[in-house]
Amino acid sequence: MTAGKNDKSPRRVVNESGIEIKPLYTAEDVQQSGGSDGVGQPGAFPFTRGIHDLMYRKRPWTMRQYAGFGQPAETNERFRYLIANGQTGLNVAFDLPTQCGLDSDDPLAQGEVGRVGMAVDTLEDFEIAFAGIDLDRITVSLTINGAAAVLIAMYFAMAQKRGYDLKQLRGTAQNDILKEFIGRGTWVFPVEPSIKLVGDTILYCAEHAPLYSPVSVCGYHIRESGASPVQEMAYAFCIAKAYIDHVLARGLKIDEFASRLSFNFDIHGNLFEQVAKFRAGRRLWASMLKERYGTENPKSMWMRMIAGGGGGGLTIEQPENNIVRSAYYALISALSGTQTMALCSYDEAYTIPSEKAARISLRTMQILVEEMGLCDTVDPLGGSYYVETLTNQMEEKIRGAMDELDAQGGIVQAVSDGRIQAAVSKQAYEDLRKLERGETRKVGVNCYELDEEQPQVEFHPFDETVCGEQVKRLNRVRVERDGAAVASALDRVSADAKAGSNVMPAIVEAVKAYATVGELTSRLVEVYGRYDEPVRF
């Protein structure tokens, strides 16, 4: 609401989380919002100021750009390019057929093979994609959900084949299926067996790959789908609770796996609101793990996260402005105490990033490290009356949203009957209307527009021959592999699924025999069925 022309009172400002922002903050505001007792010291409970005592003064954040397209060899080339330019981690994009558990020759995969990510059918594709990459030096994040169990198994099998010890292997899989039901849609199985598969991977990693992070709970995609910053954090924490409760019910102790859970969060919007949501989130997560679950290991209380520029903040209009936006998103990420950073490139509203665009995003993060002093001291905004007040208020809002959801039966039930999906869609619609009415200002979109404009971006040239070449390689593998060994391994997967056992050991053996993504998914679908999405109006 804007003040009248002759009204000298300040305009009213309310952030996306529904918190009214005062024109001035003092120590009294901090006390009234909850005080400063929860600020603490970095590296100590409740970790408001960061999970490590020296944070970036000891080591800068990992830089992990999202990359992958076409066939594995093309993706390997982009990986090598990014590493050569200073990237310190890999974040793998898979095409839609792979994400949905389809082989490249499946009729449903037509037109999508290699289009928005790397096509993967068998273990051989992983062997090609990661050839020449030191998995001890470069950690890998797999952005996969519906088919996560199969792709994690392939990564482990590839690493073992190259001589790596799984006990020492680090890396991350997204593997957050509940957020897929809410925000993206690359689900395969119904809700309950999907959660069971997530639990299978957590239990398997606890025994065989204890340094690997089998789940990265993604508030990111929930936010990108339209959720507010408060909803992003609240829903992510409720999802994490659901996974924890499931695994605890299966006999694992909290400190045997909680330290390997991680989070993927989104950044776009108001700088101070974003910083406060992460400081509040760290404190709330630590308190919940300590009070609700009785964890004794401080590492189990860490909210380890990747946080970077969200594509939802970028615009098609005046795409060069996205370079500036992403620089601010990177600044927010650093000020928020992230462990890993990734930025959407300026051309991602149009296409898969060009090498130039990806390099600009990488250089943006490197400039923060090398030139801007973001690694000089821990939590530089800590102690600000405004930031500490907002942190307290955000924690209260997030906790309230979680309590409300729990009172309604919890996140699993809310996802199953479509209530969360409806709430996020409603929020997205309301935000769009505010943008259209000009209530939310977006430079180049509803203010400071240009009358005539052509996008100055380099479109990624999709190669129509990718599908044929990928299918040709897939068919060759099918001919060359030991068919009897594949059939036996797939039968074991089916039997373990029917028995309710952990299917990961059987899947690992099947991918080592070069069973395909589609074959494994089909066997699990025969037991678990397919998800039928509820639609609410």
Residues near 213 by Cβ (< 8 Å), separated by ≥ 6?
Answer: 170, 171, 172, 173, 205, 260, 261, 262, 304
- Domains of the chain with bracketed CATH: 20-36+45-437 (3.20.20.240)
Give the pLDDT score at 460. 78
Residue 464 pLDDT: 82
DSSP structural state of residue 63 = E
Q: How far apart are CA 307 and CA 334, in angstroms?
A: 9
**For the whole prediction, is pTM greater than 0.85?**
yes
294: number of CA atoms within 13 Å, CB side? Answer: 3
Q: How far is it, in rounded angstroms, from Cα 522 to Cα 519? A: 5
For residue 443, give the 3-state DSSP assignment.
strand
Look up residue 483 and give its two tokens.
């068919």
Residue 4 is predicted with a pLDDT of 46
pLDDT of residue 537: 54
DSSP tally for the chain: helices H, then strands E: 19, 12
Cα R_g (the chain), whole angstroms: 23
Length of the chain: 537
Indicate left, alpha or beta for 418 from its phi (over 0: left) and psi (-120 to 50: alpha): left
Residue with tokens 């593998």: 477
pLDDT the model gives residue 2: 43
Tens of pLDDT along the chain (537 residues) come to 444 455 567 889 999 999 999 999 999 999 999 999 999 999 999 999 999 999 999 999 999 999 999 999 999 999 999 999 999 999 999 999 999 999 999 999 999 999 999 999 999 999 999 999 999 999 999 999 999 999 999 999 999 999 999 999 999 999 999 999 998 889 999 999 999 999 999 999 999 999 999 999 999 999 999 999 999 999 999 999 999 999 999 999 999 999 999 999 999 999 999 999 999 999 999 999 999 999 999 999 999 999 988 889 999 999 999 999 999 999 999 999 999 999 999 999 888 899 999 999 999 999 999 999 999 999 999 999 999 999 999 999 999 999 999 999 999 999 999 999 999 999 999 999 999 999 999 999 999 999 876 667 878 777 889 999 999 999 999 999 999 999 999 999 999 999 999 999 999 999 999 999 999 999 999 999 999 887 765
Buried b (16+ CB within 10 A) or exposed e, 80-119: eebbeeebbbbbbbbbbbbbbbbbbbbeebeebbbbebbb
The count of other CB atoms within 10 Å of the CB of residue 40 is: 17
Bridge partners of 217, per DSSP, are: 263
Q: Provide the β-strand partners of residue 212.
A: 171
